Amino acid sequence: MSAQITMTQAINRAIDEAMAEDEGVILLGEDVAAKQGGGVFKISAGLTEKYGEHRVRATPISEQAIVGACVGAALAGFRPIAEIMLMNFVTVAMDQIVNHAAKLRFMSGGQTNVPLVIRTTTGVGVGFGGQHSDMLEAWFAHVAGLKIVTPSNAADAQGLMRAAIACNDPVIFIENILCYGLKSDDPGPGHFVPLGKAAIAREGSDCSIVTYGRTVLDALEIAGKLADEGISVEVIDLRTIAPYDEATVTASVEKTGRAVVLHEAVKQYGTGAEIASRLNEKLFGKLKAPVTRIGGAFSAVPMANALEQAWIPNKDAIADAVRTAVNWKG
Amino acid sequence: MTKATIDRDKLRDIYTRTMRVARADEKFRSLLMTGKLAVIYYTVRGQELVSAAAMAALEPSDYLVTTYRGQHDQIAKGVPLNPLFAEIAGKVGGTCRGKGGSMHITHPETGVMVTTGVVGSGLPIANGLALASQNRGDGKVTMVCFGDGATNIGAFHEAMNMAQLWKLPVIFLCQNNRYGEHTAFADHTKVDSIVTRAKAYGMAGVHVDGNDAIAMYNTTKAAVDRARAGEGPTLVEAMCYRMLGHFFGADFSYMPKEHLAEMAAEDPLPRLRQLMLDHQFTEAELDAIVADLDAQMDAAAEFAANSPLPGPEEIRKDVFEEEIAA
């Protein structure tokens, strides 16, 4: 059996490698330095010891100041990584992200750019409740100038993080708390996964499930079960949510003729709406069933486990959506 | 008070920068009034000297972050007039190919890294530029300019705390022009002076008459020297006055007439001219400087007028490093 690596280790390794190669790679965030415990989720464990507190800076609880400082450092030619401990807290830093990081390349006519990675964590299913669990990628996808990445496995996390740090534009890197312990075969050092390229996580011929992040695991599980029913599901892991790999998605759905777009984020106005709409525009007349969406419930994420489980896209509902598509009679 | 506290060359430098700002502002207002330009314009009338003296204390390679009312800062820092005029006019020959406009001027060659239209948001970014200099040890100082209104946004407070915590080489230059949009200082801020807030963060804070060229220069220079020596940030509160309202053409009847008259007596331009004469500069010398500047303004206005409008293909460029599809 080959060596295994967890997503936590994989992200740590990617940052470590980038910091070793380039002194301009710095990490700013609440509690990230060794003295504060190397981050709440231990992503930055060991980095202060190697690179010093001037490069791994534990910050005050000041999200605007964290992202702003990273924007400034990026303008000066650094490749900063900002850790926003939980995705809901990006709301505090929206001005710096949306008005500055995203737009400075454009507004300066290409004279400056912001090679910044904003790492953040979220996820439904750990009982954190309404203000620690949101998936807010659709907000950022609506802003020109931001790239949005989320890995579904450890090896991709490592490779996507390296690519995100190397990217000359701002990248929002979303990590799912429930994925931190996932293990992959160790891809070894120097692993890169290009931004903007989706993965075909499982090949199939009857229906495509287009998804990203933790729900890729659900999609793969459902695809396995549906195979027993004689339904062949293709699972597309977007990896980069924006700009997404439209060619791969379109080719998959052109082949299968059916698609379910799945995400953990609230369904209303979500990224699934964009993907479904583009599929309809590109493939109208070739689709064998309407493209449907499955997403989180339209409420704040509840704390009580029973409610939280009811909030998350239900695996039976996802499977039913695929069956409905496959059995569609028009 | 002794007058001979400044080098004559530096005084000439400050005068030239001040008048470059003043003549450019005059030119913009004349272009707007004659209908040759139709853009939103935040006139800097009354604030010319404050930035001229401050920028004279910086090196050309030092960084500057400023705000939508920032033409005086940009011109005083050295942004060339031709592309600046063209940018404000939205032309392709502008500093930002017409994609930024007056509220978003960037010109890295002269250190102008960000001009922001979001009040107070430049301060955290200035910290980042200063942090980069601190890590690199390149000796650069970052100055960030903002008004009194900006000191009530959370970003101001977050940035002040972080800068002092890390002893960043940054200077927070509050140009207290007595108004945040249409709201007078006393109606938006409960403390008498912004300097009080520096003390709250353990930061050095200095209050200065922004219309006094020598005091303004020396105060800024001391802050720059401190920052360069690794002694950390300074908040400079420079008192000045926004003489023509929030944006050019806007009603400013909310500004009391008596106060306007009182502030007109403090007008930095005649005051600076008198200071120059007191330092044995001749009328002819000063007029020659202005005449030369006016020729530059005419040339810049012509450059802007003749520069083409940006084509629609510009929308696809600079969103990301790679050009996006239509």
The DSSP string of A50-69 is HH-TTTEEEE-S-HHHHHHH
Tokens 């942090």 belong to: B131
Which chain B residues have a beta carbon less than 8 Å from that of A195?
A: none
Contacting residues for B256 by C-beta, under 8 A, at least 6 apart = none
Spatial CA neighbour of A24 closest among A168, A155, A191, A196: A168
**Residue entry with tokens 């200082």:** B185
- Report pLDDT for A1: 59
- Identify any residues that bridge with A207 across adjacent strands, giving them in sequence order: A233
Kindly state the helix (H) or strand (E) to which residue B145 belongs, with its residue range: strand B142-147
Contact A76 B128 (CB under 8 A): yes
- Nearest chain B Cα distance for residue A8, angstroms: 27
Tokens of A14: 């990617």
| Residue A160 identity | L
Percent of chain B residues past pLDDT 70, beyond the cut: 98
Average pLDDT, chain B: 95
Residue B143 in contact with partner chain A when CB distance is under 8 A: no
pLDDT digits (tens, 9 = 90+) for B160-215: 999 999 999 999 999 999 999 899 998 999 999 999 999 999 999 999 999 999 99
Tokens matching residue B157 = 């407070």
Say which of A68, A105, A108 has its CB closest to residue B155. Answer: A68
Rounded to an integer, what distance in angstroms lies between the CA atom of residue B210 and that of residue B176? 9
Catalytic residue positions of A, numbered: 63, 132
The CA distance from B164 to A152, in Å, is 40
CA angle A40, A43, A48 (to 5 degrees): 95
The stretch A23-41 carries a mean pLDDT of 92
- Residue B267 has a pLDDT of 95
| Chain A positions in Cβ-Cβ contact with residue B63 (cut-off 8 Å) | 76
B contact test, residue of A108, A240, A278 with most B CBs within 10 A:
A108
CB A177 within 8 A of CB A8: no
Partner A contacted by B311 (CB < 8 A):
no
Is-contact A47 A191, C-beta < 8 A?
Answer: no
Say what the pLDDT of residue B146 is.
Answer: 98
Could you tell me whether strands B170-176 and B142-147 are parallel, antiparallel, or unpaired per DSSP bridges? parallel
pLDDT at B326: 66
Measured in angstroms, the CA of A274 and the nearest CA of chain B are apart by: 16
Q: Which of residues 168-197 of A touch B (CB under 8 A)?
A: 168-169
Residue B82 makes CB contacts below 8 A (sequence gap 6+) with: B93, B299, B300, B303, B304
Q: Which of A297, A223, A301, A294 is nearest to A256 (CA)?
A: A223
Q: Scan residues 44-83 of A and list those with Cβ closer than 8 Å to B.
A: 54-55, 57, 59-60, 62, 64-65, 67-78, 80
Nearest to A112 among B113, B162, B317 (CB): B113
CA-CA-CA-CA torsion for B58, B61, B66, B70, nearest 10 degrees?
80
Could you tell me whether strands B204-209 and B234-239 are parallel, antiparallel, or unpaired per DSSP bridges?
A: parallel
Cβ–Cβ gap A111/B127 under 8 Å? no
- Side chain identity at residue A180, one-letter code: Y
| Residue range A26-49: mean pLDDT, rounded | 92
Q: Is the link from the previous residue into A243 a cis peptide, with omega within 30 of 0?
A: yes
CA distances from B81 to A35, B111, B270 (A): 50, 15, 24
CB atoms under 10 Å from CB of B288, counted, come to 11
Q: Which residue of B has its CA nearest to A167?
A: B321
Task: Report the chain B residue with the minimal C-alpha distance to residue A24.
Answer: B132
Which amino acid, one-letter code, is at B1? M
Query: Residue A221: which residues within 8 A CB-CB, separation 6 or more?
Result: A315
Is the predicted pLDDT of residue B2 greater than 70, yes or no?
Answer: no
A307's CB contacts (< 8 A; 6+ apart) are: none
pLDDT digits (tens, 9 = 90+) for A305-314: 999 999 999 9
Of A72, A99, A113, the CB nearest to B118: A99
Rounded mean pLDDT, B3-13 = 84
CA-CA-CA-CA torsion sign (A126, A129, A130, A132): negative
Predicted ipTM > 0.90: yes
**Contact B160/A at CB under 8 A:** no
Count of pairs with CB atoms under 8 A, one residue in A, one in B:
150
pLDDT at B238 over 80: yes
Of B95, B113, B124, the CB nearest to A68: B124
Mean pLDDT value across residues A141-167: 98
Q: Percentage of residues in chain A with pLDDT exceeding 90?
A: 97
CA separation for the pair A327, B5 (Å, rounded)? 89
Which band of pLDDT confidence, cut at 50, 70 and 90, is reported for residue A200? very high
d(C-alpha B113, C-alpha B125), whole Å: 9
Please say if the pLDDT value at position B27 is more than 70: yes
Query: In this predicted structure, what is the pLDDT of residue B284?
Result: 98
Q: Is B220 on the interface with A (CB under 8 A)?
A: no
A111, A114, A116, A146: best mutation site toward chain B, by most B Cβ within 10 Å? Answer: A111
Contact at CB, A95 and B318, closer than 8 angstroms:
no
Gap between the Cα atoms of B316 and B144, Å rounded: 31
pLDDT bin (cut points 50, 70, 90) of residue B151 is very high
Give the residue-averaged pLDDT of A195-211.
98
Of the pLDDT bands very low, low, confident and very high (cuts 50, 70, 90), residue B4 is very low
Mean pLDDT for A26-33 is 96
pLDDT at B1 over 70: no
Nearest CA in chain A to B119: A95
pLDDT, mean of residues A288-298: 98
Closest residue in B to A95 (Cα–Cα): B121
HSE at residue A54, side-chain half, CA atoms within 13 A, is: 12
What six digits make up the tokens of A238? 């977007």
- Residue A230 Cα, gap to closest chain B Cα (Å): 39
Quote helix, strand, coil % in chain B, to nearest 5: 50, 10, 40
Query: In angstroms, how far is the first alpha carbon of chain B from the final one?
Result: 64
Which pLDDT does position B5 carry in this prediction?
76
Q: Do B65 and A72 touch (CB under 8 A)?
A: yes
CA distance B238 to chain A (A): 24
Judged against a pLDDT cut of 50, whether residue A268 lies above it is answered with yes
- Segment B232-239 mean pLDDT: 98
C-alpha distance from B96 to closest chain A C-alpha (Å): 4
Give A112's contacts in chain B (Cβ within 8 Å): 106, 108, 113-114
Query: Cβ contacts (< 8 Å) between A80 and chain B: which residues?
Result: 128
A260 touches A267 (CB < 8 A): no
Point out the residue among B124, B132, B320 whose CB comes nearest to the CB of A145.
Answer: B320
Determine, for residues A104 and B106 on separate chains, whether the beta-carbon distance falls below 8 Å: yes
Which residues of B are less than 8 Å from A54 in CB distance? 134-135
Interface of B with A in 120-139 (CB under 8 A): 121, 123-135
Q: Check pLDDT > 70 for residue B3.
A: no
- Put simply, whether B183 touches A (Cβ < 8 Å) is no
Closest to B52 measured CA to CA, from B275, B245, B285, B277: B275
* Whether the model pTM is above 0.95: yes
Of all residues in chain A, the one with the smallest CA distance to B140 is: A76
Q: Is-contact A292 A325, C-beta < 8 A?
A: yes
Spatial distance between the Cα atoms of B300 and B214, rounded to a whole number of angstroms: 30
8 Å CB contact of A108 and B135: no
Question: A60-108: per-residue pLDDT in tens?
Answer: 999 999 999 999 999 999 999 999 999 999 999 999 999 999 999 999 9
As given in the structure block, the two tokens for residue A236 are 């597309």
Per the CB < 8 A criterion, the answer to whether B20 and B6 are in contact is: no
